[in-house]
A = this chain, B = another copy of it.
Amino acid sequence: MPNSTTEVSVTVPLLPSLRHATNSSSQVAIVGSNVCPIESLDYEIAENDFFKQDWRARSKTQIFQYVFMKWLLCFFIGIIVSLIGFANNLAVENLAGVKFVITSNMMLVGRFSMGFFVFTVTNLVLTLFASVITAFVAPAAAGSGIPEVKAYLNGVDAPEIFSIRTLVVKIIGNISAVSASLLIGKAGPMVHTGACVASVLGQGGSKRYRLTWKWLRFFNNDRDRRDLVTCGSAAGIAASFRAPVGGVLFALEEMSSWWRSALLWRTFFSTAVVAVVLRALIDVCLSGKCGLFGKGGLIMFDVYSENASYHLGDVLSVLLLGVVGGILGSFYNFLLEKVLRAYNYIYEKGVAWKILLACAISISTSCLLFGLPFLASCQPCPAGALEECPTIGRSGNFKKYQCPPGHYNDLASLIFNTNDDAIKNLFSKNTDFEFHYLSILVFFVTCFFLSIFSYGIVAPAGLFVPVIVTGASYGRFVGMLLGSNSNLNHGLFAVLGAASFLGGSMRMTVSLCVILLELTNNLLLLPMMMVVLLISKTVADAFNANIYNLIMKIKGFPYLYSHAEPYMRQLIVGDVVSGPLQVFNGIEKIETIVHVLKTTNHNGFPVVDGPPLASAPVLYGLILRAHILTLLKKRVFLSTPVTFDSNTLAQFRADEFAKKGSGRADTIGDVELSEEELNMYLDLHPFTNASPYTVLETMSLAKALVVFREVGLRHLLVIPTISNRPPLVGILTRHDFMPEHILGLRPSLSRSRWKRLRIRLPFLS
């Protein structure tokens, strides 16, 4: 409920405004790359008489239709997301592949500078294309999109994040940016794409492009949309890593704020569809019909080895990997946060700067990728190599690059390659002597910093793959340092290194574990993977927060965490509730309603019946701004202050009150009423949610947060404890629980030892 503007209370409210401290927390956030206004979502079921009537009238057929449609939507989400994921891989592999083949062929005949020119220009054009469409067509498509979707699932709505325009730019922009050899990933954009597909399907298409289906009207509410978006984000991860169970767990552990058992099942269904479709498409590609999209087919770094044996003695090296990985991961988060803040500062200067920065990053990347391999010395091909050496095409472990025949450039095999192939090379087994440790070190440092600087550019860019590639090179480097002191081969070290770096940066446990297992197809690694993830997460949590939470904070999303800050225990609800409170009578004059709607931007108004409707003021419920606007637009008014009769009510249809899609809500400016109409009345009772959630004003803030967050509320009414007072003290919204607001009201709390302790120790909860 935004109430940041200073407004003048002109109407005569039934209740005096008890408190006048307006909420100071921000009502805007950075969505993608632009600053946009944000709103809360209505996850609470508005149980009013009118809807109850509608529910009772629903036939069995309609209920079956609803259930069937919901499953059908999950099915289509799975199908569409897997097709997009596959198309994305196909396009990237072919675009980047052609580029690498052409460049390699030029270098084979000694035309190095021509090769460099072609490589750099291709990359620049691709980057420019991605950043121009992102900046001008759909700024909301920039970045990974995971923070935006995570905030959406927490109840924060931003315009355009789920529009068709964003969807198209996200897909094309990501293909083009990844093909430009930037050190960015595609998993995050796939999550956003999945969520977008789900939301567009649930809304029944897009009104703007006249693609709507009437029979999807049941899903025009935030609750069903939230379920679908959860399925979509799970399908996104499932499609990018071919990890269906990992996708479900990722949605559960990282994305969603509320979870029901039924949702687990539905999400599982969507990812199962993804798994089956991808399996079928890969069958098609195995017959060689997919161009340069080779046998490997999507990321699937098969490191299975029958005899992956390890003993308790290896636990020490695993501990070391975990601890260092945790430190590196949190350092990564720290640097990324600083860089993103710097970028935001640059971006404020205008669109041209955004595109210039993207170009600069592209050119530097091209220079590094092309130039660094020249630093590495050429290695003679190993005698009994199972693969062709040196490789001339784009794939393979042994790139020829500038080397003489019979030799290969180990750094080029990693760096002058797509990220997927680099990971495959790092994870491969029986290659313990293939890479020089200096090459691995150079590769690690390059990836570490390049990915930090690349993430913030104005293009769809993910973080998963860069973190995996950086972590894998770190793991392999540790494996080399330990040498014969460990029984594990370097491919396993690379996998565990990737796990530790992921754990240190993203801070998930079960979902990362399952994603990595599905990625590497090696269940025997499980115990070590678990240990590494636990250690790196624990170590990193001592320093800073999860990368997505940091990004959400920079972007300014009012994310509601499930744990209460300790200082909230010292406050009661009455301490933070802000005013002024605007209240409607059960039968209200149109003029009053219009005036209140124009002068405030609250999104919910309490309805209190006073005399003559009741002997003493009675709290009837809460009415939403959107519902009032629908009533005003309908223009069914009463000339005298009486209640609606059933004939009048029969003029309304439930779908008129359906929630509009993101950023498409009506405004009071759209409603124009005559002088005569302004003097008429409206009976709000049938449209008022008569079951609002309430807390006592003496309730501790921490416990109010529990109910607000667990039930998923937008408005929480505060009522007095004493009986001879008016029936309502105020309304709590999401912003009233934000630390900035509370600490603004009570500056002394910010110096409390509790706060510092909590920030340092997120695992306290």
Q: Does A65 contact B (CB under 8 A)?
A: no
Q: Are A763 and B691 in contact (CB under 8 A)?
A: no
Q: Are A244 and B707 in contact (CB under 8 A)?
A: no
Contact with B along A508-527 (1 / 0, CB 8 A): 01100110011001011011
Q: Are A699 and B703 in contact (CB under 8 A)?
A: no
A60 CB to nearest chain B CB (Å): 7
A162-170, A255-263, A420-428 - interface stretch: A255-263
Q: Are A268 and B534 in contact (CB under 8 A)?
A: yes
- Give the residues from 709 to 755 in chain A that come closer than 8 angstroms, CB to CB, to chain B: 710-711, 719, 721-727, 753
- Give the residues from 576 to 629 in chain A that come closer than 8 angstroms, CB to CB, to chain B: 614-621
Q: Are B723 and A617 in contact (CB under 8 A)?
A: yes
Enumerate chain B residues within 8 angstroms of A279, measured Cβ to Cβ: 312, 527
Enumerate chain B residues within 8 angstroms of A385, measured Cβ to Cβ: none
Q: Which of B268, B693, B698 contacts A707 (CB 8 A)?
A: B693
Q: Does A55 contact B (CB under 8 A)?
A: yes
Complex: how many Å from CA A524 to CA B517? Answer: 12
Q: Are B47 and A764 in contact (CB under 8 A)?
A: no
A706 touching B711 in the complex, CB below 8 Å, given contacts A272-B531, A723-B723: yes
Q: Are B269 and A534 in contact (CB under 8 A)?
A: yes
- The residue in chain B whose Cβ has the minimal distance to the Cβ of A272 is B530
Enumerate chain B residues within 8 angstroms of A572, measured Cβ to Cβ: 691
Q: Does A700 contact B (CB under 8 A)?
A: yes
Q: Does A346 contact B (CB under 8 A)?
A: no
Enumerate chain B residues within 8 angstroms of A534, measured Cβ to Cβ: 265, 268-269, 272
- The residue in chain B whose Cβ has the minimal distance to the Cβ of A617 is B723
Complex: how many Å from CA A416 to CA B643? Answer: 78
Q: Which of B510, B526, B570, B620 contacts A264 (CB 8 A)?
A: B510
Enumerate chain B residues within 8 angstroms of A690, measured Cβ to Cβ: 698, 700
Enumerate chain B residues within 8 angstroms of A710, measured Cβ to Cβ: 707, 710-711
Enumerate chain B residues within 8 angstroms of A692, measured Cβ to Cβ: 696
A467 CB to nearest chain B CB (Å): 19
Enumerate chain B residues within 8 angstroms of A722, measured Cβ to Cβ: 614-618, 727
Enumerate chain B residues within 8 angstroms of A700, measured Cβ to Cβ: 47, 690-691
Complex: how many Å from CA A757 to CA B63? Answer: 10
Q: Which of B276, B523, B618 contacts A721 (CB 8 A)?
A: B618
A67 touching B723 in the complex, CB below 8 Å, given contacts A264-B509, A279-B527: no
Q: Does A311 contact B (CB under 8 A)?
A: yes
Complex: how many Å from CA A671 to CA B272? Answer: 61
Complex: how many Å from CA A76 to CA B269? Answer: 36
Q: Are A514 and B763 in contact (CB under 8 A)?
A: no
A511 CB to nearest chain B CB (Å): 9
Q: Are B526 and A523 in contact (CB under 8 A)?
A: no
Q: Which of B245, B248, B530, B695 contacts A275 (CB 8 A)?
A: B530
Q: Are B724 and A723 in contact (CB under 8 A)?
A: yes
Q: Are A698 and B693 in contact (CB under 8 A)?
A: no
Complex: how many Å from CA A184 to CA B764? Answer: 41
- Give the residues from 435 to 460 in chain A that come closer than 8 angstroms, CB to CB, to chain B: none
Enumerate chain B residues within 8 angstroms of A526, measured Cβ to Cβ: 244-245, 275, 518
Q: Are B711 and A272 in contact (CB under 8 A)?
A: no
Complex: how many Å from CA A711 to CA B518? Answer: 35
Complex: how many Å from CA A235 to CA B323? Answer: 25
Contact with B along A237-260 (1 / 0, CB 8 A): 000000011001100110000011
- The residue in chain B whose Cβ has the minimal distance to the Cβ of A522 is B523
A699 touching B695 in the complex, CB below 8 Å, given contacts A616-B724, A725-B723: no
Complex: how many Å from CA A598 to CA B170? Answer: 68
Q: Are A245 and B513 in contact (CB under 8 A)?
A: yes
A275 touching B691 in the complex, CB below 8 Å, given contacts A60-B753, A67-B763: no
Q: Are A530 and B271 in contact (CB under 8 A)?
A: yes
Complex: how many Å from CA A56 to CA B264? Answer: 40
Complex: how many Å from CA A47 to CA B702? Answer: 10
A703 touching B723 in the complex, CB below 8 Å, given contacts A67-B763, A510-B268, A527-B272: no
- The residue in chain B whose Cβ has the minimal distance to the Cβ of A269 is B534
Enumerate chain B residues within 8 angstroms of A724, measured Cβ to Cβ: 615-616, 723-724
Q: Does A761 contact B (CB under 8 A)?
A: yes
Q: Does A352 contact B (CB under 8 A)?
A: no
Q: Does A280 contact B (CB under 8 A)?
A: yes
Q: Are A569 and B47 in contact (CB under 8 A)?
A: yes
Q: Does A52 contact B (CB under 8 A)?
A: yes
Q: Does A537 contact B (CB under 8 A)?
A: yes
Enumerate chain B residues within 8 angstroms of A764, measured Cβ to Cβ: 63, 67
- The residue in chain B whose Cβ has the minimal distance to the Cβ of A311 is B283
Instruction: Give the 7 A-B CB pairs with smallest separation, nearest first.
Output: A272-B530, A275-B527, A710-B710, A691-B700, A616-B724, A691-B699, A268-B509
Q: 9 other contacts beyond A245-B513, A276-B527, with CB at 8 A cut-off?
A: A55-B569, A260-B765, A272-B530, A272-B531, A518-B523, A521-B524, A614-B722, A618-B723, A723-B723
Q: What are some 20 contacts across the A-B interface (CB < 8 A)?
A: A47-B702, A52-B569, A63-B757, A244-B527, A244-B530, A245-B510, A245-B517, A252-B252, A262-B563, A262-B765, A272-B527, A272-B530, A276-B315, A276-B531, A518-B523, A521-B524, A619-B696, A620-B721, A691-B699, A711-B711
